[in-house]
Amino acid sequence: MDIPVEKINELFQPYDPQHLLLLWTVMTVFLFIVAVIISSSGIYPSRRNFWNVELLVLAGAYLLSAVSFLLFHVNAIFTIMVMVCIAFVMLGDVGHKEKNASLEDEYMGMLSSNNHSHQDPEL
């Protein structure tokens, strides 16, 4: 079974804002699937952490796709594939190390070490 790539590419031409919205609609479907896969894997310690990274990745994916589509006239299918792959890698948290302690724990640790250093060493 052959996929009619040329006919699919014709759906996204000419390179104008109206067809960019179509590109973003198709890309959103695939980015949603990637987000569901990554969020269900449980690699993020909290929902807030996931959504912070998710919003950054989505903003970057939409911005890069708009630049590549409108300015450089990159093939729409290639743009969708690249943006989804980049989003999957970024959301997959590759190479990211989580802190074990929260900010409150770090702050309390700094305060207690300062209190111990100001005490008289002879006591």
Alpha-carbon dihedral 24, 29, 33, 34, rounded to 10 degrees: -10
At 62-113, the pLDDT tens digits run 999 999 999 999 999 999 999 999 999 888 864 455 555 466 666 666 777 7
Query: What total number of domains does the chain contain?
Result: 1
Which residues form the domain of 36? 13-95
Q: In this structure, is residue 104 part of a structural domain?
A: no
The verdict on residue 72 lying in a domain is: yes
Sequence-distant (6+) residues with CB within 8 A of 101 are 109
The CA distances from residue 57 to 5, 19, 66, 91, in Å, are 27, 22, 14, 7
114 lies in a domain?
A: no
The pTM of the full predicted model, rounded to 2 decimals, is 0.73
